[in-house]
Structure 1
Amino acid sequence: MAFSERLAFARKQKKIKQADLGKMVGTSGDIIGKYERGENTPSIDVATKIADALGVTLDYLVKDGEYEQIDKETLKRLQDIQQLTPENKDHVFALLDAFLKQVKLQSIM
């Protein structure tokens, strides 16, 4: 998926109009439309503002990859976990593993 497609998808998911996103990042809705159609490409500074306004990472907007759809809230939590002691990380991962296992079991029942 290209930058233009990811931008349009993320904006629509947040139910933000092009004009409103333009105001949020200091440009116009027409320019946002050009970004979404692939007619123009924003500078890194503008792309960063767009990512912040949409609550996604810059990586999500500009890169293809396994973790392209990690939102900022999830990323922040992962960074917080990374700061924990190894023992506390083990506890968090054990809880997470148990929860994910339960959800998977419920989905197949």
Structure 2
Amino acid sequence: MNIGERIIQLRKECNISQSELAKKTAMSRTIIGNYERNANTPSIEVLAKLAKVFNVSLDFLIGEGEIASFNKDVLKRIEGIQNLDTDTKNHLFFIIDTVIQHFNTKKAFLK
């Protein structure tokens, strides 16, 4: 997915128009449209504004890096987990693994 497609996807997920996004980022609706059509490439400053409005990381917005698929809420939780002691992390990982296993079993059963 290119940057333009990602901007469209995020804008629709946030249920905001091009005009609303333009206001939130202090840009014109025409510029937003150009970014979405990949007619122009946003600068790093513009990407930072867009990431802030959409509450995602720059990696997520441009679709690069290991954590490109994580939104900021997921990243905040991961950072919090990093600060836990080993026993608490192991307990949390057990819970997460159990929930994931349950979800996958349920998903497989419903097919």
Alignment of 1:73-88 (within 5 A): 73-88=73-88
1:57 match: 57
Q: For 1:82 and 1:28, locate their aligned partners in 2 and report how far apart those are by CA, in whole Å.
A: 40
5+ residue gaps, structure 1, are none
1:98 match: 98
Q: For 1:104 and 1:27, locate their aligned partners in 2 and report how far apart those are by CA, in whole Å.
A: 43
Alignment of 1:1-109 (within 5 A): 1-65=1-65, 67-109=67-109
Which 10-residue stretch deviates more, 62-71 or 81-90?
62-71
Question: Cα deviations across residues 47-89 of structure 1 (Å, max 9, x unaligned)?
Answer: 1110110122110112345542211111111111111112211
Q: For 1:16 and 1:53, locate their aligned partners in 2 and report how far apart those are by CA, in whole Å.
A: 11
Task: State TM-score, norm by structure 1.
Answer: 0.91
Task: State TM-score, norm by structure 2.
Answer: 0.89
Runs of 4+ in structure 1 off by over 2 angstroms are 63-69
Name the SS for the 1:4 alignment partner. helix
Q: For 1:107 and 1:63, locate their aligned partners in 2 and report how far apart those are by CA, in whole Å.
A: 27
Q: For 2:66 and 2:16, locate their aligned partners in 1 and report how far apart those are by CA, in whole Å.
A: 26
How far residue 6 of structure 1 moved from its aligned partner, in angstroms, is: 0.9
Counterpart residue identity of residue 96, structure 1 = I
Identity percentage over the alignment? Answer: 38
Q: What root-mean-square deviation, in Å, do the aligned CA atoms of Structure 1 and Structure 2 show?
A: 1.4
Is the 2:63–2:69 Cα contact (8 Å) retained in structure 1?
no
5+ residue gaps, structure 2, are none
Counterpart residue identity of residue 6, structure 1 = R
